[in-house]
Chain A
């Protein structure tokens, strides 16, 4: 759990974050969303004290971040950034091993952990462990960046626009990966982005920021259906609101239990937008739906999507 309590920060008299109060519950994937300059990245970087704050308090798992040595604090919190910041002179395995080595893990334990993480990020350890960052594609580098942030198994992960620099197809794959990892590990994740689609897709809770203040805090559905202000409504976008609703609602909400349909099943966790896409691709108006164990639980029809 992360508690941000009445925190303010200004640079040279210009307020960047104003009296911000925000609690990220344990296990949440909280997206800090807003236009550039709204203070979202500064807020993220105050949590691991890369940016000192002027007033207020930040607590991580109940502990005041100012009460811990900065390096100790940062080694407990995973951190991934845009364009990865991978060390170009270290191999993939050494990059991932950075924090475990700082924490003096035994070499065998470090090696096992690196293999485990590469496998989790769907990179074959036999192929990737010995490569240098420049030998990887942008998407692979980003995966290694995420693996490195997860290396010491931190409860909390901070991600600063981690997928902003990759192409749309790779970004899509990385977002799915992150959603999967979030579900599998139950980490508390704070994720900064200016991309509303990305926020709707990943977040369990969205904090929209406007000029250093919290404009609205809510689930993706609440943000889209009940914007708290004109700013939020404009930012989320009036146009394409229907499609956005499709992307925040889950297939599981509309499933006709017990019914069946032909073809490969779609997951109950998939969005309605994914279901619509699959129907169009297959020229079908009915899809079978499977639960997380892969067992078919029912079907969803085209009409259900617009209900």
Chain B
């Protein structure tokens, strides 16, 4: 049991994350000693589990949309009919990534109002490029002989995509989603500047009110969240690996 836990860092980092999430108030003596004079010692405008669920929801919604859009676009531009659109798709995704999320937030708020929606839009645009690029690379990487054999045996284009191309491209696509989601978890914190509840909320409150413990609490939790997610993706990647690759 202990051996498994040590070999599976996702497990013990996950346990640590969960413990801090629910048990942060128990650490108030520690913060009181380290930062005398700051009351309350623990951020209390919202409970940490509540921040987590909201943060998770934002990233999940944005990443799910970015994954569906990115993979669908990659599939389209790697078909004969969509080949001409490849440059444009790439360009749009690059623009999405180079445009700072803070600027997207600023532009999106007038249209979408305060709250989670502009954050989801910003995360979606920011996260699209790694997924699109990896999905295109993954689909391009399917050996020509394999595709040729599949056609020659009478698989339909849809069957070739579903049974051959996507499974073979899956590890590369997953690597893109992993990068996108991990970056998204960090980036989502700025959503708190436009009223979304995230681990950024204690960070920005702490910065505004000069309360360092809140910054620390938010930062540690968001970092652990990102690490746990990354480790979970590593587990998933092992399962999707193509034999021999």
Interface 0/1 of B61-104, CB less than 8 Å to A = 00000000000000000000000000000000000000000000
A31-39, A74-82, A198-206, A243-251: which lies at the interface:
A74-82
Interchain CB contact under 8 A, B242 and A89: yes
Q: Which residue of B lies closest to A102 (CB)?
A: B154
Residue A25 is within 8 A (CB to CB) of chain B in the complex: no
Interface hit among A5-13, A128-136, A209-217, A276-284: A128-136
B227-245 CB contact bits vs A (8 Å, 1 = yes)?
A: 0000000000000001111
Also in contact, A48 and B145, with CB within 8 A (given A89-B168, A132-B243): no
B156 at the interface (CB under 8 A from A): yes
CB-based nearest A residue for B170: A89
Asked if A219 lies at the interface with its beta carbon under 8 angstroms from chain B, I say no
List the B residue with the shortest CB-CB distance to A132.
Answer: B243
Q: Determine whether the beta carbon of A82 is less than 8 Å from that of B153.
A: no
B146 cross-chain contacts in A, Cβ below 8 A = 85-88
**Quick one: CB contact mask for A78-111 with B, threshold 8 Å, 1 for yes?**
0101111111110000000011001000000000
Is the pair B154, A71 in contact by a Cβ cutoff of 8 Å? yes
Would you call A66 an interface residue if the criterion is a C-beta within 8 Å of the partner chain's C-beta atoms? no
Q: How far is the CA of A134 from the CA of B243 in the complex (A)?
A: 7
* Chain A residues, CB < 8 A from B152: 48, 50, 74, 79, 81, 85, 158
- Cβ of B155 within 8 Å of any chain A Cβ, yes or no, is yes
Please count how many residues in chain B sit with their CB below 8 Å of the partner chain's CB atoms. 21
Given contacts A71-B155, A71-B156, contact A85 B243 (CB under 8 A): no
- Closest-CB distance, B154 to chain A (whole angstroms): 3
Which residues of the partner chain A approach B167 to less than 8 Å between Cβ atoms? 89
B154 with A81: CB separation less than 8 A:
no
B183 interface contact, C-beta 8 A: no
Select one of A70, A81, A134 contacting B149, CB under 8 A.
A81
How distant is the Cα of A148 from the Cα of B243 in the complex, in angstroms? Answer: 19
A73 contacts B by Cβ under 8 Å = yes
Q: State whether the Cβ of B151 lies closer than 8 Å to any Cβ in chain A.
A: yes
Residues B145 and A81 in contact, CB atoms below 8 Å apart: yes
Tally A residues with Cβ within 8 Å of B: 28
Does any Cβ of B come within 8 Å of A72's Cβ? Answer: yes
Q: Is the CB of A73 within 8 A of B149?
A: no
Q: Smallest CB–CB gap between B152 and chain A, Å?
A: 4
**Residue B37 interfacial (CB < 8 Å):** no
List A contacts of B56 (CB < 8 A).
none
* A75 cross-chain contacts in B, Cβ below 8 A: 153-154
Kindly report which residue of chain B lies nearest to residue A79, judged by CB atoms: B152
Q: Is the CB of B244 within 8 A of A85?
A: no
| Residue B212 lies at the interface, judged by CB distance under 8 Å to chain A | no
> B145 near A83 (CB under 8 angstroms)?
yes
Taken together as a complex, chains A and B put the C-alpha atoms of A102 and B245 apart, in Å, by: 26
Q: A99–B153 contact, CB under 8 A? A: yes
Q: Which of B194-245 contact A (CB under 8 A)?
A: 242-245
Give A72 to B153 CA distance when docked, in angstroms: 9
**Contact of B153 (CB < 8 Å), options: A83, A102, A134:** A102
Given A88-B242, A134-B244, A135-B244, answer yes or no on A148-B153 (Cβ-Cβ < 8 Å): yes
Centre residue among A79, A85, A98 by max chain B CB count within 10 A:
A85
Is the CB of B161 closer than 8 A to any CB of chain A? no
Interface string of B160-193 (1 = CB under 8 A from A): 0000100110000000000000000000000000
Nearest-Cβ distance from residue A98 to partner chain B, whole angstroms: 5
Complex CA distance for A85 and B164, rounded to whole angstroms: 11
Q: 6 pairs across A/B with beta carbons < 8 Å?
A: A50-B148, A71-B155, A74-B154, A85-B147, A87-B150, A102-B153
| Extra A-B contacts (11), CB below 8 Å, given A85-B143, A89-B168 | A50-B151, A71-B155, A73-B154, A74-B151, A84-B145, A85-B152, A87-B149, A88-B168, A89-B243, A134-B245, A148-B153
Point out residues on A near B: beta carbons under 8 Å.
48, 50, 70-75, 79, 81-89, 98-99, 102, 132-135, 145, 148, 158
